[in-house]
Structure 1
Amino acid sequence: MTPPPPRSQIRPGLTVDVIQKHHQASGQLTRGVVAALLTSSSSHPHGIKVRLTSGVVGRVQAVVTPES
């Protein structure tokens, strides 16, 4: 598994896959658009915490690109 992206690669408006706290055991990802970054440090071993436009809060596991 690839490491989560650093904060410098995440900004509002990007589509990302996040893992919510209650899905950590199953690894189920939720896709959405970043509304706000909640982690202030430049990196985090489990991913940068964000709030999506849908209101979901989770840690970014991947930035979704048009090619993926």
Structure 2
Amino acid sequence: MKKGNLRSNIHPGDAVAIILKKDQPTGALTFGRVAEILTNSQTHPHGIKVRLTDGSVGRVQEIY
């Protein structure tokens, strides 16, 4: 399992766990596949922002 704060680790189609903005206080994770990478920078301390195939947008916490 890789961490989600490096853009080079994330590719469309990867299975990931993201944290949605509304779930940041609780830390609840949402699981899915990456449809699109939204963060342009190479790193982000809170995770790279992605859109999943179901339309959910959040920051990657883990890559499977």
Q: TM-score range by the shorter chain?
A: over 0.9
Give 4+ residue runs of structure 1 displaced > 4 Å after superposition.
Answer: none
The answer for unaligned runs of 5 or more in structure 2 is none
**Structure possessing the higher relative contact order (Cα contacts under 8 Å, 6 or more residues apart):** 2
Structure 1 unaligned spans of 5+: none
**Aligned alpha-carbon RMSD (Å):** 1.4
SS of the aligned residue for 2:32 comes to strand
The farther-off stretch of 53-62 and 4-13 is: 4-13
Larger Rg: 1 or 2?
1
Q: Deviations over 1:19-66 (max 9, x none)?
A: 0000000000000000000000001010000000000000000001xx
**TM score, norm. by length of structure 1:** 0.87
1:18 matched to which residue of 2? 18
CA distance in 1, matches of 2:4, 2:12: 17
Normalization by structure 2: what TM-score? Answer: 0.93
- Tell me how many residue pairs correspond in the alignment: 63
CA distance in 2, matches of 1:16, 1:31: 6
